[in-house]
Amino acid sequence: MKNFKFIFPFILVCLSAIVWSCSDDDPVIESNDIFDRQAMLANWSDNIIIPAYQAFSTDVDALKSAVEAFETEPNEANLNTVRQEWEAAYIAWQNISMFNIGPAETTFMRSFINTYPANVSSINTNISTGNYALQAANANDEQGFPALDYLLFGLADSDAQILEFYTSNVNASNYINYLTDLVDRINVIANQVVASWEGDYRDTFVNNSGAASNSSTNKLLNDWMFYYEVVFRNGKIGFPAGVFSEGSTLPQNVEAFYKKDLSKTLCLEALNAFQDFFNGEAFEGTTRGESVASYLNFLNTMKNGEDLSLIINNQFDLSITAISNLDDNFFNQINTNNNVMLVAFEELQASVVLLKSDMFSALSVAVEFESGDGD
């Protein structure tokens, strides 16, 4: 019984020590046996995310200049320049679409920049009335690259006829205004996001290096996984190929539907970017830094298990091959031989298993919603 006098203070000290240790605002721990998660975050932000956002922003600036030139002088040459810059920017977009953290999240970047299929009737109404609010959440299918796709390639069958919408059409000025407004909007969002990353957000991102469900690693990986499964696999291939629509294909829902022959290019660019991120490969050049692959390798040395990062990379390569076998024009591909689309889908599917089941499990990444108790 005498022990009790000492037990409770002792327990109190233990409890306070452990409770105090719960605060995770400690800096990076230097050690060779430890995987440097903050270095991974820094590699992601400094070598991949920020350069990719900056490249995108540059391309969107070029698109804006092209549109301004077209506004001044709406002729075929300028229209072609706009189209080229649109294509370059759309390709650049594929490198950043997978990130939905920080400013991209708060500006609803992906939603406003790349929701497809474009809502053609709404767009037409917007143009004829001249009345529209692009900031509204449900206006996401009336703007962005898909809407531009329609305006640049979908208004009519021939280039000459398309040009007429901007010159001799009774609403020509409305068409030009809408075109410029859409590009301005992308430009504003892109600049906002870049400014945020070049400003405070980079440090916020890198310093939130814990393992809680709202840590940078967890949030980013969860978004990245969602992107792959829903935006990439379903959006680019699954939905159009009819995988979720009770057997009937929806070829009109492919990305870049009006341009037609860009679908595959966009798809491959996105998949390559996705794999590069997995491997921590810098946006410019081929140097690889800390990323998911190296993290898996580090964890693997401890359990002598399968080389998961190699298996995942192999599956990515198989997916790239399967997609390369598709027609440049997914719309055509679906209509002539949809089975090849389904083959590509199955390859992409196999990656989902590896990422969602194996990778998440191995990294012990908490699924984002987890605010409940576990067991």
Per CB under 8 A, residues contacting another protein are 1, 3-4, 7, 10-11, 14-15, 18, 21-22, 24, 26, 29, 31, 33-35, 37, 209-211, 238, 242-248, 299, 302-303, 305-306, 308, 311, 349, 352-354, 356-358, 360-365, 367-375
Three-class secondary structure of residue 49 per DSSP: helix
**CB of 108 or CB of 360, closer to another protein:** 360
Three-class secondary structure of residue 288 per DSSP: strand
**CB of 217 or CB of 263, closer to another protein:** 217
**CB of 245 or CB of 324, closer to another protein:** 245
Nearest to 197 by CA among 178, 216, 211: 216
Packing angle of the helix pair 120-129, 172-196 (nearest 10 deg)? 110
CB of residue 117 vs another protein: minimum separation in angstroms? Answer: 17
As separate numbers, helices (DSSP H) first and strands (DSSP E) second, the chain gives 18, 0
**CB of 27 or CB of 285, closer to another protein:** 27
281 φ/ψ angles, rounded to the nearest 5 degrees: -80, 135
List the structure tokens of 326. 């598709």
CB of residue 207 vs another protein: minimum separation in angstroms? Answer: 12
Q: Please list, residue by residue across 27-45, b when 16 or more beta carbons sit within 10 angstroms of its beta carbon and e when fewer do.
A: eeeeeeeeebbbbbbbbbb
Give the angle 91-283-140 at the CA atoms, nearest 5°: 40
Q: What is the distance, to the nearest Å, from the Cα of residue 292 to the centroid of all Cα atoms in its chain? A: 17
Give the angle 160-161-165 at the CA atoms, nearest 5°: 115
Cα–Cα distance for residue pair 329/255, rounded to 1 Å: 10
CB of residue 247 vs another protein: minimum separation in angstroms? Answer: 3
Cα–Cα distance for residue pair 185/64, rounded to 1 Å: 10
Cα–Cα distance for residue pair 76/163, rounded to 1 Å: 7
Structural contact between residues 283 and 51, judged by C-beta atoms closer than 8 angstroms: yes
Three-class secondary structure of residue 257 per DSSP: coil
Cα–Cα distance for residue pair 344/334, rounded to 1 Å: 12
Q: What is the distance, to the nearest Å, from the Cα of residue 369 to the centroid of all Cα atoms in its chain? A: 20
CA dihedral 121, 122, 126, 128 (to 10 degrees): 20
DSSP line for 91-139: HHHTTTTT--STHHHHTTHHHHH--SS--HHHHHHHHHH----TTSGGG
